[in-house]
Amino acid sequence: MKLHKRVLLVASVLLSAATACKQTSTDSASSQDTLPTIEDTMSKEQKELVDFKFFFTLANLPSPMELINDIYKNEVPFNSDLLNSTDHEEKYTSAYKKSVNYGIYGIDMAYAAFYGQNQDLLSYYSTTKALAEKMNVQETFDRYTESFQKNSDNQDSLVRMIDKAYAETDNYLRNNGRYMTAAHVLAGAIIEVQHLSIALMKEQERTPGNAAIFEKIFNQRMYLDNLVNLFKEFEKDPDSGKLLKDLQELQAAFNAVKSADELTKDRLTNLLVTVDKVRNRMTN
């Protein structure tokens, strides 16, 4: 099964609504894209630079979701305790919390899909749908997931749905320039992949069969480098500025590991502490 390069942005299905039109809402306090943002003060040249940095973050790098797929193929047991509880969704009221946790919940939904955990899968589907309604993009969510429940036991069909959604997300980013919202979703998705992959693999013995997984965990530093570079464009935004500092701290922790061979259980445990420090600030 070949995964689309944009699979890491599972939760950003909903953002593609903006390819058809700008989001509008009578309740601006609850709308992700009608809130004034730092992007509104950017020049055309600044937006072009951010556009380049955003897509460079994804260019020439393997999808982080390949990690989850590889872990699944190596028969590492499913662990629902690692997921962000769906009970938390109601407390995400700010634009920032909605977008980063949209990224997190989407990865959790994909993780459940890979493992065929239908009860968890449908729970995260319902939670993401509820968040879509709060973000005023439920129409697109419904359009791309109308057959979700019918195909919940068909992994290939679910991945094809996700594939289509990411092509639409690309259109959203190109046509509407909502880079900060998309960057928050992306950061949430990447941090969740790191949280899941490190937590799952730190208890596994290294073998020739799973060595590539440790290599991919090590290479997650490239995503962090690109995210740090991207978020420097948004550091005047209070939430983005705090996230930038968190990402820089995590970047330093990854840079302390010089090769994949150094990813011992102790090293992975230390990395997980820093990853989860960032994640906890997103989810709490």
By the 8 A CB rule, do 160 and 1 touch? no
- What is d(CA 63, CA 216) in angstroms, rounded to the nearest whole number? 10
- What is d(CA 21, CA 23) in angstroms, rounded to the nearest whole number? 6
- What is d(CA 151, CA 157) in angstroms, rounded to the nearest whole number? 6
Q: Two tokens at 70?
A: 């590889």
C-alpha torsion sign, points 150, 155, 156, 161: positive
Q: Two tokens at 136?
A: 């005023």
By the 8 A CB rule, do 12 and 190 touch? no
C-alpha torsion sign, points 44, 47, 52, 55: negative
- What is d(CA 227, CA 184) in angstroms, rounded to the nearest whole number? 10
- What is d(CA 208, CA 38) in angstroms, rounded to the nearest whole number? 48
pLDDT (tens place) for every residue of the chain, 284 residues total: 444 444 444 434 433 433 333 333 333 334 444 444 666 677 888 888 887 887 777 666 667 678 888 999 999 999 999 999 999 999 999 989 998 998 899 889 889 888 888 889 889 888 987 877 776 666 666 666 677 667 767 776 775 665 555 445 445 544 566 778 888 888 998 999 999 999 999 999 999 999 999 999 999 999 999 999 999 989 999 999 999 999 999 999 999 999 999 999 999 999 999 999 999 999 99
